[in-house]
Amino acid sequence: MKLLEDRILKEAKALSDEVLLVDMFLNHQVDCELMYEIGGEFSRLFARDGISRVVTIEASGIAPAAMCALIMKKPLVILKKQPSLVLKNGILQTEVFSFTKQKSYMLTLKPEFIAQGDRVLLIDDFLANGEAALGAARLIEQAGGTVAGVGAVICKSFMPGLRRLKDMGFHVEALASIKRMGAGEIVFED
Ligand code: G4P
C-alpha cells in the first residue's frame, strides 16, 4: 500500500535492524485518516473470504481493526492481554510468548463473542514471529470460529511469522512488507 509505505519512509525510524518505531502514526499517536484508508484496503483484500467478524489484539491493533470492521460492517472483538478484574469465569486463555518483548502474556477471549461458524478476519499492527496471530487463532478455533484471513499493517518479512502462517494455509495480507532495515534504510518487498 503506497500511502503506508510512503508514510513509513517519511516518518518511521529503524531503531535497530529488527525494530521499527512507528509511534507517530500507529502505536502511540494515531493518524485516523490513515487508519481509515488501511481499513478500506483490508476490506478490499478480504472481500472474497466471507468474513463475518473482525478480531484484533489490544492495544495497537484496535485502530486499524476498528476502521476495517466499520467499513466491512462487521462486529469487532478485541482480545485482551491485561489481566481483568471482571473477566474471570467462562473465558478462554492461551499463553503467547513475545520475542520482541521477551516475555509471555495470557491472551483472553470471552467465547460468547465468537459465533459458531464465524469466519474471522484477524487484524494486527505488526507481524513478526507470528506468535500473537497463532495464539489468537487458537482461541478463535476453540470458540467455534475459523480464521479466514490474517491482515497485518506492517510485516517484517525477514522474520518467520509470514512464512509460518502461509505454510499453515492462512490467507495472509500485509500492507507494508519490510525485507530489511537498519541505520538510515528501510527496504520493502517488491
Ligand atoms: P509476533 O506476535 O509476530 O510473534 O510478534 P512479537 O510477539 O515479537 O511482537 C509483539 C509485540 O511487539 C506487539 O506489540 C507488536 O506490535 C510489537 N512489535 C513487533 N515488532 C515491532 C516493531 O518492529 N516495531 C514496533 N513498534 N512494535 C513491534 P504489543 O506487545 O502487542 O503492543 P501493543 O499492541 O500493546 O502496542
CA distance 118 to 141: 9
DSSP state of 80: B
Query: Would you state the pLDDT for residue 64?
Result: 98
pLDDT tens figures, 49-91? 999 999 999 999 999 999 999 999 999 999 999 776 666 778 9
Query: Would you state the pLDDT for residue 85?
Result: 66
Residue with CA nearest ligand 1 atom 18 = 126
Ligand 1 neighbour 93 (Cβ under 6 A): no
Single pTM value for the model: 0.96
Q: How far is the CA of 101 from the centre of ligand 1 (A)?
A: 8
Mean pLDDT of all residues in 18-44: 97
- Grid cell locating 176: 507494508
Taking the CA of residue 126 as reference, the ligand 1 atom at the shortest distance is: 16
Taking the CA of residue 27 as reference, the ligand 1 atom at the shortest distance is: 36
pLDDT tens figures, 102-145? 999 999 999 999 999 999 999 999 999 999 999 999 999 999 99
Q: How far is the CA of 87 from the centre of ligand 1 (A)?
A: 24
Ligand 1 neighbour 129 (Cβ under 6 A): yes
- 152, 118, 81, 156: CA torsion to nearest 10: -20
Query: Would you state the pLDDT for residue 100?
Result: 83
Ligand 1 neighbour 100 (Cβ under 6 A): yes
Ligand 1 neighbour 162 (Cβ under 6 A): no
CA distance 87 to 107: 12
Query: Would you state the pLDDT for residue 82?
Result: 79
Q: How many residues does the chain have?
A: 190
Taking the CA of residue 127 as reference, the ligand 1 atom at the shortest distance is: 3
Query: Would you state the pLDDT for residue 184?
Result: 85
* Number of compact structural domains in the chain: 1
Query: Would you state the pLDDT for residue 90?
Result: 87
- Grid cell locating 137: 487463532
pLDDT tens figures, 19-28? 999 999 999 9
| CATH number of the domain encompassing residue 40 | 3.40.50.2020
Domain limits for position 133: 2-188
